[in-house]
């Protein structure tokens, strides 16, 4: 192929799909080749380069085509001059002389391909004015054809039609006048041989006819000038109508753009309303979830405080119970100590009484023997010293017991003071936590009130903004309707004045021509 476009695809399937797509939309023919690029003998892998060549039909829609004789005969003597009306996977052809349609698929086209004779941009609408035959008629495929020179005109078809009709009427009038003059001239020439008098009269009539002919020529030129001026006026009127039409189209486009802007503004308003509604719903949900969370936290705090209070009460009860048990045990031990001490005092008294009795017995026997008396005196002195030591030991033990009892009482008193202080601290902390929770609940309640006030103010603001926007849109629509109505009335008045002026000019021209 001498010209075309090269397209590169990374995948062979994409190229195959593209070729199939081209075959579905235009008549085309294709061929494919492959070339070995590389080869790996170890893995036995081959790398090929695939090439697809696609040729597309050069025929386009509204092209003028001269069919080859074979194609014309295969289509039932269609053409040979035909116009392409549609191009898809087949070509639709139309015979302008017989209005016959025919369809060619890709296979039929490429069997005997052909090109366009002229494209749609090269075709010009024209009117044949005159035909001069150059050669004789030839019979081709049951149809007669002849070569001829045609004189055609393509510009100002409608205007020339009107001017041709007017000129035809004028030519008919002039022809009738010319015929009458010719008849008069023939009559005068026939009478010229008869008399000289008739000759003079004929010469006068001839001069009069010449003068009338000059007047007719002058009137003809004047009518041509009037026709040209009328054409200019019609062209100016058509130009002004085109300008008015452009203004109307521009105003229609402005109206459409304005309505689109109004629709977009309505859409924005609806979106804003939906956003405000969603914000209000989400705010209500968040406030509800926050209130439920606060209530849950308050309930959990209350439960925690109740548990702490219960634990403190249990601890105080257990402490009181332990203190009571300890005091009971101390009292019981004190009573036991007193009982033992009293028993020991009784034993000491009993021992003192027995010792006194023994001493009295010894003193009664002292007179019997001095040696025995000395021994008895020495034994009593030892016995009395042992009793005195035992009494000192008992006094020391009682003092130590009193010290231990005093230490126990001081320890219990300090422990009771610490427990009372701990209980006071717990009560103080409980009161502080209760006061803190109360403050937090008051702050949260104030925040909720503030949020509700803000949401109400936002709702009022959105409502007022919506009302103002709706009011401004209504005022703008009203002003635009009034402006469009005034513009339409102005355009109608201008068109009416133009039409009335044109009709007045035509009436004046007709009256002038009739005169």
pLDDT given for residue 341 in this prediction: 60
CA distance 455 to 269: 19
Asked if 67 and 80 touch (Cβ cutoff 8 Å), the reply is: yes
Q: What is the pLDDT of residue 380?
A: 40
Pairing of strands 64-66, 138-140: unpaired
Contacts of 352 (CB under 8 A, 6+ apart): 387
DSSP 8-state secondary structure symbol assigned to residue 32: E
**Averages of pLDDT over each 10 residues, the chain, 515 residues:** 73 86 84 83 83 84 85 80 87 85 86 82 73 76 71 60 76 84 76 71 81 83 82 81 81 79 80 77 75 73 71 69 70 66 65 64 59 44 49 68 72 72 75 78 78 79 80 80 81 80 77 66
Helix and strand totals (H; E) in the chain: 6, 11
Q: Which residues contact 384 (CB under 8 A, 6 or more apart)?
A: 355
Q: Write the CB contacts of 331 (distance below 8 Å, at least 6 apart in sequence).
A: none
Q: What is the dihedral of CA 272, 277, 280, 283, to 10 degrees?
A: -90
Distance CA 34, CA 43 (A): 21
The number of residues making up the chain comes to 515
Dist. CA 175–CA 345, nearest whole Å: 187
Residues 355, 383: Cα–Cα separation, whole Å? 8
pLDDT of residue 97: 81
Closest CA to 409 of 338, 478, 302, 323: 323
SS percent in the chain: helix, strand, coil, step 5: 75, 15, 15
Where do we find the tokens 């100016």? 236
Supply 438's token pair: 């109360």
What was the pLDDT predicted at 382?
A: 42
Prediction pTM value: 0.30
Residue position matching structure tokens 């009560």: 427
Give the separation between CA 510 and CA 230, rounded to whole angstroms.
11
Q: Nearest-5° angle of CA 204, CA 210, CA 216?
A: 140
Burial of 420 (0-12, 13-18, 19+ CB in 10 A): exposed
């Amino acid at each position: 192929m001498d010209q075309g476009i090269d397209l590169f695809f990374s995948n062979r399937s994409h190229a195959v799909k593209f070729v199939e797509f081209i075959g579905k939309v235009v008549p085309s023919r294709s061929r494919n080749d492959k070339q070995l690029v590389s080869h790996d003998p170890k893995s036995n892998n081959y790398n090929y380069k695939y090439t697809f060549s696609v040729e597309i039909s050069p025929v386009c829609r509204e092209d003028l085509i001269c069919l080859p004789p074979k194609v014309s005969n295969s289509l039932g003597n269609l053409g040979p001059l035909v116009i392409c009306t549609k191009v898809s996977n087949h070509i639709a052809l139309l015979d302008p002389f017989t209005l016959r349609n025919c369809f060619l698929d890709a296979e039929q086209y490429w069997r005997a391909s052909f090109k366009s004779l002229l494209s749609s941009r090269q075709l010009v609408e024209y009117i044949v004015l005159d035909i001069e035959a150059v050669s004789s008629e030839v019979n081709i495929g049951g149809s007669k054809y002849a070569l001829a020179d045609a004189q055609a005109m393509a510009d100002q078809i409608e205007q020339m039609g009107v001017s041709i009709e007017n000129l035809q009427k004028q030519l008919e009038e002039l022809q009738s006048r010319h015929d009458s003059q010719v008849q008069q001239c023939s009559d005068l020439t026939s009478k010229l041989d008869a008399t000289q008098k008739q000759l003079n009269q004929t010469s006068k009539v001839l001069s009069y006819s010449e003068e009338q002919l000059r007047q007719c020529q002058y009137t003809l030129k004047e009518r041509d000038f009037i026709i040209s001026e009328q054409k200019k006026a019609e062209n100016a009127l058509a130009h002004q109508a085109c300008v008015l039409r452009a203004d109307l189209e521009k105003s229609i486009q402005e109206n459409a753009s304005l309505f689109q802007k109004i629709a977009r503004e309505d859409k924005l308003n609806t979106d804003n309303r939906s956003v405000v509604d969603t914000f209000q719903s989400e705010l209500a949900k968040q406030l509800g979830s926050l209130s439920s969370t606060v209530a849950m936290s308050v309930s959990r705090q209350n439960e925690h405080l109740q548990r702490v209070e219960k634990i403190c009460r249990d601890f105080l009860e257990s402490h009181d119970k332990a203190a009571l048990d300890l005091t009971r045990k101390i009292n019981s031990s004190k009573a036991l100590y007193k009982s033992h001490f009293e028993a020991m005092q009784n034993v000491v008294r009993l021992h003192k009484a027995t010792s006194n009795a023994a001493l009295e017995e010894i003193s009664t026997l002292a007179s019997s023997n001095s040696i025995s008396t000395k021994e008895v005196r020495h034994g009593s002195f030892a016995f009395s010293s042992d009793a005195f030591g035992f009494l000192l030991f008992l006094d020391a033990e009682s003092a130590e017991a009193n010290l231990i009892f005093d230490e126990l009482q001081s320890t219990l008193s300090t422990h009771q003071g610490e427990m009372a202080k701990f209980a006071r601290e717990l009560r103080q902390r409980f009161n502080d936590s209760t006061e803190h929770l109360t403050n937090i609940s008051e702050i949260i309640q104030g925040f909720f009130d503030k949020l509700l006030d803000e949401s109400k103010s936002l709702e009022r603001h959105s409502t007022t903004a919506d009302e103002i926007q709706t009011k401004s849109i209504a005022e703008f629509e009203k002003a635009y309707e009034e402006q469009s109505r005034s513009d339409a009335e102005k355009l109608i008045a201008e068109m009416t004045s133009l039409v009335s002026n044109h009709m007045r000019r035509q009436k004046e021209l007709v009256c002038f021509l009739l005169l």
